[in-house]
Amino acid sequence: MNLRVVLVEPLYEGNVGSVARAMKNFGFHDLAMVNPCKIEDYGSAMASHARDVLQMSKSFSSLQEALEGANLVVGTTGKRLETEQHHLRLHLRVPCFTPAELAAKLNGKDGTVALLLGREDCGLNSEELAICDMVVSIPTSGEYPVMNLSHAAAILFYELSASESGATEMASRQSLNLLQAGANSLLLDVCYPDHKADFADLMLRRIFGRAELTEREARSLLGIIKRIRWRITHGQENGMGAEDNA
């Protein structure tokens, strides 16, 4: 398993350097940044002997570019569910895995996992969390739940370093996107209520993410959805009646 650490609009070079150092501590080297702050001498100093991780890092102008080629996208959040609106609790951040639970789910998988770490002041926003297949949160004290970026990163890297690569190849991002699009099209075909469609999209993304689909499974599900859609569109045209559908 290749872990790609994606820092979304980091504000402070010292934190970026510290994240790079923590990555190297636990054997990770793939660092991507979206619209990062300028990394100068202080950031390099904080990286210490992990300056090579900074030098090999890639910067992108959009999150989608940074995620290209990732099989699975995992978002991080320190926000507590109790303070969120009901629909966000149900669809956006539930279930929220601990780092240890995430590591267990990824053990034995082959592919690239993108781990998103948000801004120091506000983390990942709702739109960014919505594109994640899974969400992970460190169980901290309710008195002060939000951790420093590099401290949270170190805990995540420690747990994920225990995950070993295996023979179970995760579905490609292209296949997962096609599956998601096919499921959304099926909802339109069955006249699923418009006001529920966005939440259903989030729920399905979370289900597919938790399932950790293989490429064959994703393609098989997509084939089933295509077959259902074809039957809905052409079934009556071919003279199919109620008995034929039974």
How many domains are there within the chain?
A: 2
pLDDT digits over 146-188, tens only? 899 999 999 999 999 988 877 788 999 899 999 999 999 999 9
State the maximum Cα–Cα separation within the chain, in Å, rounded to a whole number: 74
Only one residue has tokens 């991080």, namely 76
pLDDT of residue 100: 96
Task: Annotate the chain with three-state secondary structure.
Answer: CEEEEEEECCCCHHHHHHHHHHHHHCCCCEEEEECCCCCCHHHHHHHHHHHHHHHHCEEECCHHHHCCCCCEEEEECCCCHHHCCHHHHHHCCCCCECHHHHHHHHCCEECEEEEEECECCCECCHHHHHCCCEEECCCCCCCCCCCCHHHHHHHHHHHHCCCCCCCEEECCHHHHHHHHHHHHHHHHHCCCCHHHHHHHHHHHHHHHHHHCCEHHHHHHHHHHHHHHHHHHHHCHHHCCCHHHHC
Instruction: Tell me the range of 26-35, 88-97, 161-170, 224-233 where mean pLDDT is highest.
Output: 26-35
End of a domain among 123, 150, 168?
Answer: 168
Q: Are 155 and 113 within one domain?
A: yes
| Domain assignment of residue 34, given as a range | 2-168
The stretch 97-104 carries a mean pLDDT of 94
* 178 and 144 belong to one structural domain: no
Closest CA to 99 of 91, 107, 111: 107
Quickly state the pLDDT bin for 118 (edges 50, 70, 90). very high
Are both 18 and 135 inside the same structural domain? Answer: yes
pLDDT-based confidence at residue 98 (cuts at 50, 70, 90)? very high
What mean pLDDT is predicted for residues 126-134?
A: 90
Query: Which of 94, 65, 111 lies closest to 218 in space, CA to CA?
Result: 111
Which residues are CB-neighbours of 55 under 8 A, at least 6 positions away?
none
110 and 189 share one domain = no
**pLDDT for position 203:** 85
Q: How confident is the model at residue 241 (pLDDT cuts 50, 70, 90)?
A: very low
Burial 161-188 (b: 16+ CB within 10 A, else e): eebeeeeeebbbbebbebbbebbbebbe
- pLDDT single digits (tens) 204-222: 888 898 888 999 999 999 9
Question: Considering the chain, what percentage of its residues have pLDDT values greater than 90?
Answer: 64
Give the pLDDT band (50/70/90) at residue 194.
confident
Q: What is the mean pLDDT of the chain?
A: 88
Co-location of 58 and 161 in the same domain: yes
Q: What tokens were used for 223?
A: 């084939």
**Residues contacting 230, CB < 8 A, separation 6+:** none
What's the CA gap between 59 and 209, in Å, rounded? 26
- Are 25 and 111 members of one domain? yes
pLDDT at 30: 98
- Are 124 and 87 within one domain? yes
Give CA angle at 75 (70, 76), nearest 5°: 140
Residue 121 and residue 50 in one domain: yes
Q: State the pTM of this model.
A: 0.83
The answer on pLDDT for 108 being more than 80 is yes
Both 91 and 159 in one domain: the answer is yes
Residue tagged 């202080």 (tokens): 42
Shared domain for 177 and 163, answered yes or no, is: no
Query: pLDDT-derived band of residue 233, with 50, 70 and 90 as boundaries?
Result: confident
pLDDT of residue 243: 41
* Co-location of 118 and 24 in the same domain: yes
pLDDT tens-place string over residues 39-64? 999 999 999 999 999 999 999 999 99
Q: Which two tokens stand for residue 10?
A: 């980091």
